[in-house]
Amino acid sequence: MTIIRPSAVAGMFYPAEPAELMRQLDACWAQAHPHPELGVPKAIIAPHAGYVYSGAVAASAYDLLKTARGTISRVVLLGPSHRVGFRGMAVSTADAWASPLGAVRLDRDGVARARTVPLTGELETAHAQEHSLEVHLPFLQRMLGDFTLVPVVVGDTTPAQVAALLDALWGGPETLIVISTDLSHYLDYAACQDMDSRTAAAIEALDEGALGRDQACGRIPVGGLLRTAKARGMTIKTIDRRNSGDTAGPKDRVVGYGAWALYEAGAEDIAAIGPLLLEIARAAINGRFAPDHPVDAHAGPDMPALLAQPGACFVTLKINGTLRGCIGSPTAWRPLAEDVADNAAKAAFHDPRFAPLSAQEWPLVEMSVSVLTPPAPMRFSDQADLLAQLRPRIDGLIIEDQGKRALFLPSVWEQLPDKGQFLAHLKAKAGMQPAHWSPSFKASRFQAVEIKR
C-alpha cells in the first residue's frame, strides 16, 4: 500500500486549490528579484513562511532553476523542526507527499542512504505537521515538474552531523540541495535589519560559527550547508533579503527572510584557468633547472580568485605515453596555485617510483593537471553495492582499510573500464588482495577536471 503524507498547511500558508495556488505563485514571481546573470545552483537557502510574507523571496531563489527542468531530478530538502522536539535528524516513512499540484514521490534509496548517517532515523511525527519543508513543494513543482524528494527534518543536532548527511546525499547535477530557514523573529523593523545584516554577513562568509540561536530558526541545517560549502570550495551569492515589514505585515514586529544560492566550481571555471595551471606547474619544474628564477605561486592581486582558494590537484608527467611521475593532494588544504606548484615539483623530482627528472628528459614531458572535487564518503552494504554506485569515467576513488590506502583518478577508467577490475587494481595499489573485504572498508569518490598540455 502506498503511504502518502497529506498536506498539513495547505489553505493556511498557501492556497489549497490548485488554480488559486498557481495564481499565488505568479504573484510571488511578480515580486521576485530575478538574477538572469546566474546559472543553476547546487544548493539554495530559502524561507518558509506563508507565501504572502516570504513567497517573493523564495521565488527569487527558485527563479534560478528556470533552466533546470530535465536536469535536476532529485531534491534533498532540509528544514528545522518547529513542533516536535527530538535528537538528530528525521526522514519520512511515506512513499509520497501530497501537494495541491500533485503528489511528489520520495526517493526511497536516498532516504535509506540518509538513515546510514549517525543520529538519522525515521520519525513521521516530526513530519506530520511540519511546515518548513512542505511549503517548498509548490515552488519546486512549478520549476522542475517531475522530481523525487528526500525530506529531512533537523532536530537537536550539530552542523557537523548535517554536513555528514549532505555529503552522503550530495550526488551530481541531478541533485539539488534546499535548506529551509527564516531569519530573525518578531523584532521591530530596524532591529531586524541590523540582526539580519549580521546573519547575512556570516552566511556570505560561510561562517557557521557566527550564527546565533536567535538569528535563524534553521541555523543548524544552514550551518551544515555552510560547513560543506567551505570544505568543497563553493561560492555563495545573495539573491534576496527582506522581512515581513517589506511584504505584507506591520513594521513593529517582523520576521526576516533571505535567499542565497551556492555554486560548485564548475568544469568551465577550471578550464578557464587551465593554461595558467599548466604555466604554474611548468614554472615550478623549470625553477629547479634554473634556480635563479624561482616560481612564486602565492596569490597576488592579479591572480584569478579560484587560484587563491583552497584546492586539491594531481600533477601527472608522462614521456611517450608512459608514466614518469604523479603526485597530488586528495583534499584541499592550501591555495590551488600553491598546490599545483608543489605537486608539480614533487612529481618531477620526488616521486619515489622514479629517479629525479633530468634536464634531458624535461623537453619530452607531457603534463596534465587534474583539479579534484572534495572526496565524498560513500555508504554501501557490500562490495556489490559499492560497485553499483561507481560511475565509469566520472568518479575517482579512494579506498582505505586496516592502515592501507590508495587513490585512482577518473582518468584510470581509460585503462580499466570494467568496474570490478578498476576496484581490484586499486586494492592492489593499496597492498590489499583483490578479494579483500571487511566491515571497516571505506571508500570515497570524487570527480576531476583534467587539463592537458
Q: Which residues contact 445 (CB under 8 A, 6 or more apart)?
A: 375, 376, 378, 389, 390, 395, 396, 397, 398
When pLDDT is cut at 50, 70 and 90, the band that residue 389 belongs to is: confident
Residue 302 pLDDT:
66
Do 348 and 306 meet the contact criterion of CB atoms below 8 Å apart? Answer: no
Residue 267 pLDDT:
66
pLDDT tens for each residue of 2-16: 999 999 999 999 999
pLDDT at 300 over 80: no
DSSP state of 310: B
Residue 294 pLDDT:
56
Residue 297 pLDDT:
57
pLDDT (mean) for 116-139? 97
Q: What values do phi and psi take at 235, rounded to 5? A: -110, 155
pLDDT tens for each residue of 14-30: 999 999 999 999 999 99
Q: How far apart are the first and last CA of the chain?
A: 58
What is the average pLDDT value for the chain, to the nearest integer? 93
pLDDT tens for each residue of 188-241: 999 999 999 999 999 999 999 999 989 999 999 999 999 999 888 788 999 999
What CATH number should be reported for the domain whose range is 376-452?
3.30.1490.150
pLDDT at 443 over 60: yes
Do 405 and 340 meet the contact criterion of CB atoms below 8 Å apart? Answer: no
Looking at 3.40.1390.10, 3.30.1330.10, 3.10.129.10, 3.40.830.10, the CATH number of the domain 4-264 comes to 3.40.830.10
pLDDT tens for each residue of 37-72: 888 899 999 999 999 999 999 999 999 999 888 888
Q: Where are the alpha helices (DSSP H) in 99-204?
A: 108-115, 124-128, 131-134, 137-144, 159-169, 189-204
* Residue ranges of the chain that CATH labels 3.40.830.10: 4-264
* Residue ranges of the chain that CATH labels 3.30.700.20: 269-370
Choice among 118-122, 281-285, 292-296 with the minimum mean pLDDT: 292-296
Nearest to 258 by CA among 37, 31, 61: 61
3-state secondary structure of 357: coil
Residue 396 pLDDT:
94
Domain at 269-370, CATH homologous superfamily: Hypothetical protein ph0010; domain 1 (3.30.700.20)
3-state secondary structure of 118: coil
User: Which percentage of the chain shows pLDDT scores above 90?
Assistant: 78
* Residue ranges of the chain that CATH labels 3.30.1490.150: 376-452
Residue 146 pLDDT:
93
Q: What is the pTM of this model?
A: 0.69
pLDDT at 116 over 70: yes
